[in-house]
Amino acid sequence: MGNAEPMLLGIALLALVAAALGLIWRGRRAKPEQEDSYTRGLELWLAGDLPAATEALRDAIARDPDAVDPYLQLGNLLRKRGEAQRAMALHRGLAARPSLTPQKRISVTLALVEDLLVLKRWQEAGELLDELQRHNLTSARYWSARFRQALGRGDESTAARTLREAARRTAPNERQMFRDHHESFQLDRGVRAALRGDFSDARRYARNVADGSPRAAASMFVQALSRLGEEEHERAAEVATEGLLKAPELVHLFLPVLQRSLLATGQYSRVVPILESACRNPAAPPELWIALAQLHEKMGDREMAVQVFEEKAGDQRLTPAVASPLLRVLVNDLPDSDFTRIWNTLAKPEAASAWACRSCGAVHDGMRWYCPECGAFDSVGPAAPRPVEPSRPQPRSPRLLIEAPEAAAP
pLDDT at residue 347, as a whole number: 59
In CATH, the number for domain 245-347 is: 1.25.40
pLDDT at residue 286, as a whole number: 75
Q: How far apart are CA 184 and CA 198, in angstroms?
A: 18
The fold for domain 34-94+102-136 equals 1.25.40
- Mean pLDDT throughout 158-181? 97
Whether residue 182 contacts residue 160, with contact meaning beta carbons closer than 8 Å, is answered with: yes
Banded pLDDT at 350 (limits 50, 70, 90): low
Domains 34-94+102-136 and 245-347 share a fold: yes
Share of the chain above pLDDT 70, in %: 79
Position 365, amino acid: D
- The predicted-structure confidence for 280-299, as pLDDT tens digits, reads as follows 777 778 777 777 777 777 77
- The predicted-structure confidence for 59-82, as pLDDT tens digits, reads as follows 999 999 989 999 999 999 999 999
Q: How far apart are CA 322 and CA 320, in angstroms?
A: 5
Angle between the 4-47 and 50-63 helix axes, to the nearest 10 degrees? 160
Between CA 234 and CA 246, with CA 240 as vertex, the angle to 5 degrees is 140
Share of the chain above pLDDT 90, in %: 50
End-to-end CA distance of the chain: 103
pTM comes to 0.73
Residue 110 burial by CB count (10 A; 0-12/13-18/19+): exposed, middle or buried? buried
- The predicted-structure confidence for 103-141, as pLDDT tens digits, reads as follows 999 999 999 999 999 999 999 999 999 999 999 899 999
- Mean pLDDT throughout 234-250? 89
- For the chain, what are the domain ranges? 34-94+102-136, 154-230, 245-347
pLDDT at residue 3, as a whole number: 54
- The predicted-structure confidence for 244-273, as pLDDT tens digits, reads as follows 889 988 988 998 898 888 777 777 677 778
